[in-house]
């Protein structure tokens, strides 16, 4: 899972928020049974609360404007206005600039991933994600970070490598701006490891890892963690035959 998590590890979101108000989540899915299951799971966390449900994209946009949730979790394929169109509307609304969108779908295809990111989604994960993974995903993007599933990361990398004209050319010398430690962190990020997993592997604190990753993003002018992954592959820091996992 490609994600830029807070300095604390999994399950620490609740402790980190302390007495702060729960993260407010809006669910959008045309299947009521799935919405109910997701609501039960999300409401089971003390730091997350579902404040609304929508059966299609149009309703999701209307409720987002009314409820101003911290996170909107939406499927892609829904009748009428789909999840991608709804994402674009929500992300383009200046009154909802604090609202983040998490795409939760069965369809992890190259085109959907690219469209979701262009629309402004902060996360893209499959419905096969484990329960704890979904809770952590909500906390991650609510914190202002980007999250992609392993399948989405592989598709994103493959898409960028196959169509280099879609982004400015990258060259190995670009990595010269990074310190050896930052290069190491970028390479590990490109394999799909979270900050906590990198910290465990490198015997560092998650906070230190996060600082290194953010400095690398700044030096490489990467707007988010997903783009950092692409740069790692395009510059040859990570071999193109290696897939994130």
Nearest residue to 98 via CA among 74, 72, 118, 124: 72
> Looking at the domain 2-148, which fold is it?
Rossmann fold (3.40.50)
Cβ atoms of 148 and 226 within 8 Å: the answer is yes
Least confident of 101-115, 156-170, 200-214: 156-170
Q: Assign 156 a pLDDT band (cuts: 50, 70, 90).
A: low
Q: What percent of the chain has pLDDT over 90?
A: 42
Q: pLDDT tens for residues 31-56?
A: 999 999 999 999 999 999 999 999 99
Beta strands, E only, the chain:
2-3, 23-28, 48-54, 71-74, 100-105, 123-126, 147-148
Dihedral class, residue 126 (left if φ above 0, else alpha if ψ from -120 to 50, else beta) = beta
Q: Give yes or no for a contact between 138 and 102, defined as CB atoms under 8 angstroms apart.
A: yes
Q: For tokens 């009314």, what's the residue? A: 66
The more confidently predicted of residues 110 and 204 is 204
What DSSP element (H or E) covers 33? helix 32-43
pLDDT at 70: 96
- Residues 55-84 have pLDDT tens digits of 999 999 999 999 999 999 999 999 888 999
pTM: 0.65
Give residue 231's pLDDT band: very low, low, confident or very high (50, 70, 90).
confident
Domain boundaries, the chain: 2-148, 163-234
Residue 128 CA to residue 108 CA, distance in Å, equals: 11
Nearest to 242 by CA among 200, 201, 204, 188: 188
CATH code, residues 163-234: 1.10.10.10
Q: Do domains 2-148 and 163-234 have the same CATH topology?
A: no
DSSP β-ladder status, 123-126 and 100-105: parallel
Tokens of residue 114, six digits: 């690219």
Strand order in the sheet with 23-28: 2-3, 147-148, 123-126, 100-105, 71-74, 23-28, 48-54
């Amino acid at each position: 899972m490609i994600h830029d998590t807070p300095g604390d590890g999994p399950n620490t979101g609740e402790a980190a928020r302390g007495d702060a108000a729960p993260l407010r989540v809006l669910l959008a899915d045309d299947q009521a049974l799935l919405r109910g299951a997701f609501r039960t799971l999300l409401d089971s966390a003390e730091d997350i609360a579902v404040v609304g449900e929508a059966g299609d994209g149009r309703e999701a946009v209307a409720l987002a404007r009314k409820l101003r949730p911290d996170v909107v979790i939406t499927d892609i394929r829904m009748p009428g206005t789909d999840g991608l169109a709804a994402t674009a509307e929500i992300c383009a609304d200046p009154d909802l600039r604090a609202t983040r969108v998490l795409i939760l779908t069965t369809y992890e295809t190259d085109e959907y991933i690219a469209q979701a990111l262009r629309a402004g989604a902060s996360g893209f994960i499959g419905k096969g994600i484990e329960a704890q993974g979904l809770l952590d995903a909500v906390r991650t993007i609510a914190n202002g970070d980007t999250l992609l599933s392993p399948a989405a990361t592989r598709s994103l990398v493959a898409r960028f490598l196959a169509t280099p004209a879609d982004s400015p050319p990258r060259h190995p010398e670009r990595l010269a701006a990074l310190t050896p430690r930052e290069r190491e962190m970028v390479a590990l990020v490109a394999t799909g490891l979270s900050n906590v997993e990198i910290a465990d592997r490198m015997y560092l604190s998650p906070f230190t890892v996060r600082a290194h990753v953010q400095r690398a993003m700044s030096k490489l002018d990467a707007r988010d963690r997903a783009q950092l992954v692409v740069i790692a592959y395009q510059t040859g820091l990570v071999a193109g035959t290696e897939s994130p996992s």
